Amino acid sequence: MKILIAGQDRTLDVGAEIQQKAAELKKRRGRAAPPRISTEIGALALCKANSDSDYFEYFVKLLRYRDAFDTCDFDIPRRRGPLGAGMAKLKKILWKLLRYQHDRIAFRQNMINGLFTNAIELEAIERQRGDAVLRGRLDRLEALLNKLIVEHKNK
């Protein structure tokens, strides 16, 4: 298997990291929980924004962190007693049988989510460009107006 990133073969460095993480996941017993998410990535961190542009920039950053979901194993809730234990085992078996379908759906949904996040970022960049052009034009017009006012006063 080859891993290409931006047209460059990154099999040696990235591939080794992926294999190491996969081996760690295989060693784990019980719930395969994702690593703990930093509080800096939580939605409450949006309160730290001082302006609308800061808010939007941070919002897009959060969107990047959260625009994908996974199908890692999880703890299946169960009832107490032998019936609950039996149902939990049945659910685990069903999850293993149907997980490939969830993985396919998750892959497609993650692609769509990523495309929407990219679209939001590109829209913001385009608006910033348009604003910069308009600000430049406005500055030139104000300078021209000030020049005309000075010339008119000097007459």
Task: Kindly write down the DSSP assignment for every residue of 132-150, as one continuous string.
Answer: HHHHHHHHHHHHHHHHHHH
The rounded mean pLDDT for the chain is 81
Residue 11 falls within a domain, yes or no? no
Q: For residue 113, is it within any domain? A: yes
Residue 80 within a domain: yes
105 within domain boundaries: yes
In a domain, 76, yes or no: yes
| Digit-coded pLDDT (tens) for 20-46 | 877 776 665 544 455 566 666 777 777
CA–CA separation, 60 vs 54, rounded Å? 10
pLDDT in tens, 108-119: 888 888 888 888
Whether residue 5 is contained in a domain is answered as no
**How many structural domains are present in the chain?**
1
- Tell whether 155 is covered by a domain: yes
The model carries a pTM of: 0.50
Least confident of 2-16, 76-90, 92-106: 2-16
Domain that holds residue 121: 67-155
Evaluate whether residue 35 is within a structural domain. Answer: no
Residue pair 55/49 in contact by the 8 Å Cβ criterion: yes
What kind and span of H or E run contains 101?
helix 81-154
Q: What is the pLDDT of residues 140-151, one digit of tens each?
A: 999 999 999 998
Q: Which two tokens stand for residue 41?
A: 């990535």
